[in-house]
Amino acid sequence: GEDVEQSLFLSVREGDSSVINCTYTDSSSTYLYWYKQEPGAGLQLLTYIFSNMDMKQDQRLTVLLNKKDKHLSLRIADTQTGDSAIYFCAEISNTDKLIFGTGTRLQVFP
C-alpha cells in the first residue's frame, strides 16, 4: 500500500535554511507535491515536481527528488517566521488519489 513518511518536527533560526524530508513508496507517482497548512486553515500548494525531474527551484523553494531512493525534500532558503506551519508532502497513488505524508511542523524562532 501507499505510505508517505516525514519527520514530525523541525526547528530553525530565522534566516537559516530549512530542509524537510519525505519518503514515499509508490514508484508510479507521476507528480509529487508540497503543501503548507497554517493553523486552522486549509492546504496551500507550495510547489510540485514531475517524476522525471531531479530538481525544481521556485524562488526560496527548492525541491529535490531522488526517485531511486523514493526520497523527496523541500528546502526553504532564508526561512522567515511566516514560514512556521505544517508542511505535507503528497504523492498521487495508482488509483489517482492524493496520499499525504504525516506532516512536518516547522517552527522558526528569531
Partner 1 sequence: GAVVSQHPSRVICKSGTSVKIECRSLDFQATTMFWYRQFPKQSLMLMATSNEGSKATYEQGVEKDKFLINHASLTLSTLTVTSAHPEDSSFYICSARGDRGRGGYTFGSGTRLTVV
Name the minimum Å distance from CB 49 to partner 1.
9
Stretch that binds partner 1, among 14-22, 61-69, 71-79, 97-105 (CB under 8 A): 97-105
The three cell numbers locating residue 80: 522567515
Q: Does 61 bind partner 1 (CB under 8 A)?
A: no
1 to 40, contacts with partner 1 by CB under 8 A? Answer: 30-31, 33, 35, 40
Total Cβ atoms within 10 A of residue 58: 12
Q: Does 107 bind partner 1 (CB under 8 A)?
A: no
- Give the span between the Cα atoms of 38 and 90, in whole angstroms: 17
Q: How far is CA 7 from CA 27, 58, 96, 97, in A?
A: 20, 23, 25, 22
Residues within the interface to partner 1 (CB under 8 A): 30-31, 33, 35, 40-45, 47-48, 88, 90, 92, 97-103, 105
